Chains A and B, each alone.
Chain A
Amino acid sequence: MVSINVTVDGRSESHDVEPRLLLVHYLRDVVGKVGTPIGCDTSNCGACTVSFNGQSIKSCSMLAVQADGGDVLTIEGLAGTVETDLHPMQEAFRECHGLQCGYCTPGMIMAACDLLKENPNPSEAEIREGIEGNLCRCTGYHNIVRAVQTAAASMSGTGVSS
């Protein structure tokens, strides 16, 4: 076992973990952040996307031991970064029907927030490329793209840093 210290959604966590434990299993089974789902076995689907030290990553493709000393933000902590009940990206997904079954949504929202951090005003093509690491099998992406555009508009000038 290896002992690790990780900040998860603003709270400091310390645990002894097996080296083979994936970050996503650590978040779900050890810390209890079940808002982050597991979608695939191949690192393709992006459902488990979280922010690690400020950058989007697939938490199924990183070991928990590699997160030692780092800062993880999951979908569960996202709203805690703003004053409103929901983060503007979450609000926009609701507003624009950017989800149907909802399985991809936590990862999609985390990836979309990361995209706006690098590019606060993306074109439609840039949005589609920016979320290419996240698969949605319901929406056909159309309303997801609209949601990201809506969030970009509402976040510009609000001081929300995504």
Chain B
Amino acid sequence: MIPAGFDYVRVNSAADAVAALQTSEDAKILGGGQSLIPILRLRLATPELIVDVSGVAEMNGIREDGDAIVIGAGTTHHDVTTSDLVRTHAPLLAQATATVADPQVRHRGTFGGAIAHADPAGDLPGVALVHNATMTIAGPAGTREVAAADFFLDYLTTTLAEDEVLVSIRLPKLGAGWGTHYEKFTRVAQSWSIVAVAAAVRRENGSIAEARVALTNMAPTHLRAAAVESALTGAAASAEAIKAASQAAAEGTSPTSDLNAQADYRAELARVLTGRAVAKAAGLS
């Protein structure tokens, strides 16, 4: 199908993007277009103005900044997965991004686009939650920073205002002592997660000193499995202890029922996949 007509402007800076957004009541940012263009084609959205940020140099690329890495919102999935900095300091992100869609989509789609789109089945918001990432956002009043935990508000809804642009995502490094794993459950290739689990575990002397677990597609937004995290803290890094803690994975979630899975099946998947993700992150399997 063919999108409805719109005006198009390509900008060269985040500030110009904000200025362009303010010229229209109904403007949309275009990143890699891998979610937005299908939406336009199906005419689920018919914006008046498209502001293309894909050429904004300051929003592209990955750099090290002390104890964190900073990833431009416009960095493609392909560039994220092949980055040595990401593989070294955020291997969970490299692993999860490699499961997104297919090579063609990863060549165009961007990290920031996936975060801003906030699809509950998307693979990257959960990684942002586990990393305690910070989003840098440009708007009419300047720049503000928002923690990942406060960024995702509801189904396809974030704290970004209509005239704001996500500029970059800061991921504190998960360094020595941390193990991570992304466990994604799908039925066929190039598909979205039915349920997935992002886990990071810090081991100390055979036990789990700290654990962070985020669930994909278990609620209108991604969420941390707080009950699992507290059950794991101080537990032995053993298969039994991890399995016991994972039983709490569906607590506080509100999964939907759809063609792929019923809600109770999703709850069971959350428990099973949490067990697998944590065990792998802890180096057990």
Docked Cα-Cα span, A14 to B6, in Å, equals: 21
Task: Give residues of chain A (49-80) contacting chain B, Cβ–Cβ below 8 Å.
Answer: 49, 52, 55-58, 60-63, 65-66
Contacts of A137 in B (CB 8 A): none
Contact at A20–B4, with CB atoms within 8 Å?
yes
A95 to chain B, nearest CB (A): 24
Interface string of A11-22 (1 = CB under 8 A from B): 000000011101
Q: Give the chain A neighbours of B41 by CB distance below 8 A.
A: 22, 41, 60
Known: A22-B2, A42-B38. A115 touches B33 (CB 8 A): no
- Please name the residue on chain B nearest to A115 by beta carbon: B103
Q: Identify the closest chain B residue to A17 (Cβ).
A: B8
Stretch of B104-112, B142-150, B158-166 that contacts chain A:
B104-112
- Is B34 a contact partner of A132 (Cβ separation < 8 A)? no
Asked if B156 lies at the interface with its beta carbon under 8 angstroms from chain A, I say: no
User: How many B residues, CB 8 Å from partner?
Assistant: 30
Which of chain B's residues 29-47 have a Cβ closer than 8 Å to chain A?
30, 33-34, 37-38, 40-42
Q: A residues within 8 A CB of B283?
A: none
B54, chain A: closest CB distance, angstroms:
7
Tell which of A22, A44, A66, A114 has the most Cβ of chain B within 10 Å: A66
Q: How far is the CA of A20 from the CA of B38 in the complex (A)?
A: 12
Chain A: interface residue total (CB-CB under 8 A): 32
The 0/1 profile, CB within 8 Å of A marked 1, for residues 174-194 of chain B is 000000000000000110000
Q: Is B7 interfacial (CB 8 A cutoff)?
A: yes
CB proximity of B76 to chain A, nearest CB, Å:
9
CB distance A55 to B37 under 8 Å? no
Residues in A whose Cβ lies below 8 Å from that of B102: 46, 132-134
A-side contacts of B37, CB under 8 Å:
22, 43, 60-63
Q: Is A109 an interface residue (CB 8 A)?
A: no
Give Cα A25–Cα B2 distance, bound, in whole angstroms. Answer: 9
If A41-B41, A41-B42 touch, does A111 touch B103 (CB 8 Å cutoff)?
yes
B103 touches A19 (CB 8 A): no
Tell me the smallest distance from the CB of B213 to a CB of chain A, in Å.
26
Output the least CB separation between B154 and chain A (Å).
Answer: 24
CB pair A56 B104 closer than 8 Å: yes
- Chain A residue numbers with a CB within 8 Å of B6 are 19-20
B108 touches A44 (CB 8 A): no
Task: Tell whether B66 is near chain A: CB-to-CB under 8 Å.
Answer: no
Q: Which residues of B contact A46 (CB under 8 A)?
A: 102, 104
Establish whether residues B2 and A61, one from each chain, have CB atoms under 8 Å apart when the complex forms: no
Q: Does A101 contact B (CB under 8 A)?
A: no
A130 in contact (CB, < 8 A): yes
Among A25, A41, A56, point to the contact of B107 (Cβ < 8 A): A56
B89 at the interface (CB under 8 A from A): no
Residue from B4, B8, B10, B42 whose CB has the most chain A CB atoms within 10 Å: B8
Interface residues of A in 95-116 (CB under 8 A from B): 111, 114-115
Nearest Cβ on chain B to A109's Cβ, whole angstroms? 13
* B104 and A58 contact, CB distance less than 8 A: yes
Asked if A132 contacts B189 (CB within 8 A), the reply is yes
Determine if B103 and A56 form an interchain contact, defined as CB atoms under 8 angstroms apart: yes
Contacts of B30 in A (CB 8 A): 63, 66
A100, chain B: closest CB distance, angstroms: 20
> How many whole Å from B9's CB to the nearest CB in chain A?
9
Bound-state Cα–Cα, A37 to B190, Å: 20
In the A-B complex, the 4 residue pairs with the smallest Cβ-Cβ separation, listed nearest first, are: A133-B102, A19-B8, A132-B189, A55-B107
List 12 interface pairs A-B (beta carbons < 8 Å), by A numbering. Answer: A19-B6, A19-B7, A55-B78, A58-B104, A58-B108, A60-B41, A61-B33, A61-B38, A62-B37, A63-B8, A65-B10, A114-B103
